[in-house]
Amino acid sequence: MLIKKAFDLAEIPHVYNLVTTRQSFYTALGDRLHAAVREHNKLPILHLSMHGNDDGVGLTNGDFIKWDELRLAITPILNDMQGGLLICMSSCSGGAGCKMAMHEDADHPFWALVGNSGEASWSDAAVAYITFYHLFFKEVSVYDAVNIMKIASGDNNFMVFDGVYIKNDWSSYISKKRFTGGLLSLSPKDLTSL
């Protein structure tokens, strides 16, 4: 709600959806998101504020959505935007959402994902994302905005992931593993030096 209030104050067009169940989550990502794009005639930014861990995100009713399931749910919008979607994960381990770009399908990955690589307190995340959006809508680059959100929140675990880079790196990694017959175990923390 704090980010919604900040958007109201800055007169940034937005739509807020409270989702507590799997059904309401998919409705928000489908019909409501498409309606918001039509209403505002702008490319969307998907901001998810929820519980999370390295495997995915949790809903209020206890349902859990794995990263691959979330990727499949947003694939239509990713493809419609030709990979231009910015995703902001206001959750613990939201940076693990970069796994959504780790696929070899022909589908587009996200443009960028902003998330935390560890546990994020609600207050730090609120300060961080209000700072991020304030700068981003003043045309500060996503990378500079993330660096400043780290300073504003006092949490250096906020990161930005480039979807095309991750997808290409993933495909290269998989090709090498297929060639050498190696096992696959790559986590988002392994990607922090990319």
Per-residue pLDDT of 115-128, as tens digits, reads 999 998 999 999 99
Query: In the predicted model, is pLDDT for residue 190 greater than 70?
Result: no
Provide the pairing of β-strand 56-58 with 51-53: antiparallel
Do 125 and 116 contact (CB within 8 A), yes or no? yes
More confident residue, 8 or 145: 145
Predicted model pTM: 0.86
**How many angstroms separate the CA atoms of 109 and 143, rounded?**
18
- The class level of CATH for 2-191 reads alpha beta
Burial class (CB in 10 A: 0-12, 13-18, 19+), 138: exposed
16-50 pLDDT, tens digit each: 888 889 999 999 998 888 888 888 888 889 999 99
Query: What's the confidence (pLDDT) of residue 194?
Result: 41
pLDDT at residue 173 in the model:
81
pLDDT digits (tens, 9 = 90+) for 157-187: 999 999 999 999 988 888 777 766 555 555 5
pLDDT of residue 92: 95
Phi/psi at 116 (nearest 5 deg)?
-100, 140
- pLDDT category of residue 189 using cuts at 50, 70 and 90: low
- The arithmetic mean of pLDDT across residues 59-84, rounded, is 93
Provide DSSP, 88-102.
EEESTTGGGGGGGG-
